[in-house]
Amino acid sequence: MLVAACTLALASTPALASRRIELVSGETITATILERSDTSLILSHRILGEIRVELSDIRTIDGREVEQPSALPRESFAAKREQAAAGPPAAPSSPAAVPGAPDAGAAAAEAVARVVEALPARPTWESRLEFGFSGSSGTTRDLRVRAGITSTRTAGLNTTRLDSLYRYGSSRGQRSENAATAGLLSEWKTPEPRWSTFVQSRADYDEFQSWDARLSASSGVTYRVFQLLGADPAEGKRRDIVTMFTRVGAGASYRFGLPSGEPLTPEGVLAVTLDWRINDRMSLDLESTWYPDLSEPDDFRTLSQAQWRWRVDQMRGIDLKLGLAHEYQTESRSTSARSDVSAFAALSIAF
């Protein structure tokens, strides 16, 4: 069911244009077209940030030839440098200066616009692989392993996040932890910039719980409570410094292999998320979600997490991540199983 939901969400969303642009000098860049003018394009590049490229310097977009009017010859970068060194040229008599003659820059921009609109839309992806472990040997032998994958897909007004995580631990040669989780969160922006709608689902497995597996799903609205913007010296534009979101909705969870009790539980959802980008290399993420049982007001479960990230390698996208996770549920008959706290350290690598 979770795989089907992921596939449906990914297949039913529009996409953000990320293009492969070939320049007349032979270089090829992959970037998103942010803005078009009569003579140039403004692009967003993952490393270079926002850059401006002249229309006369573009040969193809996604392999399709960009038609250039004869009044705008494709000059090489070397020819432009020579022209700049020689000084400004004398004002030529061009057809554009004659009343009623077509504007060459507008014609070029129109030609590029037609090519871009005819291209199939492409989503942008950001994926990361996470791995961490710790071990000790002596009077006791302890081992803890943590591995996961996270992928975020941005397509127009939709953002979809897929995540999976596996945790294993042993102490004194006996297995003490064996759990896995996989989830999907898809959000759609609305005309009101502070509001969006969401759908989420999650599948959990934990060997040391009273149930074998748990499947949950919910939907609702997201509201941006607070946003602080600041200058980004690296990219030369404004970026989010501190952002706070709250998410409210309702859904249900179903527990497989439950020895007694009702396996289907209607649940509410109330989440608070705080993202703080401390500087270009460090960030702090805090998130806490409360799932109240709508049929039993005294029962609920919570899931909270704090993560600190430090960018070890800026070019390769390697992060060191330290975190603390806490899960609590009132319905467990065992007091020791109600609260689950885990601290972790892992490397996160972009791919």
Residue with tokens 């759990």: 179
- Residues 142, 114 share a domain: no
Domain boundary among 118, 151, 171: 118
- Residues 297, 202 share a domain: yes
Tokens coding 299: 């029962």
Task: Look up the pTM and report it.
Answer: 0.63
Domain boundary among 66, 95, 118: 118
Q: What are the pLDDT tens digits along the chain (351 aa)?
A: 444 444 444 444 444 457 888 888 777 888 888 888 777 888 887 777 788 888 888 888 877 777 665 544 444 444 554 555 555 555 444 444 445 545 556 666 666 666 555 555 578 899 999 999 876 665 567 888 999 999 999 988 899 999 999 999 998 888 988 999 999 999 999 988 899 999 999 999 999 888 899 999 999 999 999 988 876 655 556 677 999 999 999 999 999 998 888 899 999 999 999 999 998 899 999 999 999 999 988 899 999 999 999 999 877 889 999 999 999 988 755 445 578 888 899 999 998
- Residues 296, 252 share a domain: yes
- Residues 283, 206 share a domain: yes
Secondary structure E strands in 207-299 = 213-232, 237-256, 264-277, 282-292
- Residues 143, 113 share a domain: no
- Residues 112, 165 share a domain: no
Residue-range definition of the domain harbouring residue 73: 19-118
- Residues 232, 338 share a domain: yes
Tell how far CA 165 is from the center of its chain.
17
- Residues 146, 230 share a domain: yes
> How many distinct structural domains can be found in the chain?
2
**CATH number, domain with residue 204:** 2.40.160.40
- Residues 159, 100 share a domain: no
In angstroms, the Cα distances linking 88 to 72, 73, 80, 81, 82 are 17, 17, 11, 12, 11
- Residues 292, 174 share a domain: yes
- Residues 326, 186 share a domain: yes
- Residues 153, 85 share a domain: no
